[in-house]
Amino acid sequence: MFIRSDRLFLRPAWPEDLQELETLIAHDSAACNLASACWPCAHDDARRFVAHEQAHALPQFVITVPGTGGSRIVGCIGLDRRDGEVELCYWIARDQRGRGYAGEAVKAVVDLAWTLGHARIVANHFVDSPASGRVLHGAGFRRTGRVAERYSVTRKRVFPAREYVLAPAGSDGFDDEMNGLRVDDEQKRAA
């Protein structure tokens, strides 16, 4: 499965990506700033990420930026299943942050998720990573009001993570009031 957005090309990881992924990971100790089962976070994860078979309903991609000299990998994004929920997770290489790649990739994968029939997507970010929250909010995710302890691969311990949810308008997957989800005042003002 492939996705083309305005500036990005999202595709499965290939064996020849292993060295580039490992190099990105080695130079970015905070590669997994979302509280999710991000891929990859360490060298062994990179090997598994490149070798694993794609699940049709839960695709995982490398995020690439096409250019005249080929495409360079700037991060990873995908859907996973956690506690019976479809969860979005991603990371962007440190030297590529602040360019809008995360938001563009998140929106592209969310659109694909709806096409695949998912009615609700959750995402999490560690509380000390507000930029990740801004990316999720910009893609339409809303805070659930829950903060849970999630294991951080990079910290090697549990750490508080803020939970977000997204569902198509008018679906059974999300409604600010009816499903018991609380949208905080900051998000109401931003809407």
Domain enclosing residue 75, as ranges: 3-190
SS3 53: coil
User: CATH number of the domain that 99 lies in?
Assistant: 3.40.630.30
**Paired strand residues for 123:** 164
More confident residue, 189 or 15: 15
* Whole-number average pLDDT of the chain: 82
For residue 9, give every residue at least 6 positions away whose Cβ sits within 8 Å of its Cβ, in sequence order, or none: 2, 3, 64, 65, 66, 71
pLDDT at 161: 92
For 84-132, the pLDDT digits (tens) are: 999 999 989 888 999 999 999 999 999 999 999 999 999 999 898 889 9
| Structural domain total, the chain | 1
pLDDT at 32: 58
For 46-88, the pLDDT digits (tens) are: 777 777 777 889 999 999 999 998 899 999 999 999 889 999 9
**Paired strand residues for 91:** 76
More confident residue, 53 or 180: 53
Residue 172 has pLDDT above 90, yes or no: no
Q: Rounded to an integer, what distance in angstroms lies between the CA atom of residue 129 and that of residue 143?
A: 14
DSSP E strands, 68-131 = 70-82, 85-92, 121-126
pTM for the model: 0.81
Lowest mean pLDDT segment, chosen from 20-24, 156-160, 172-176: 172-176
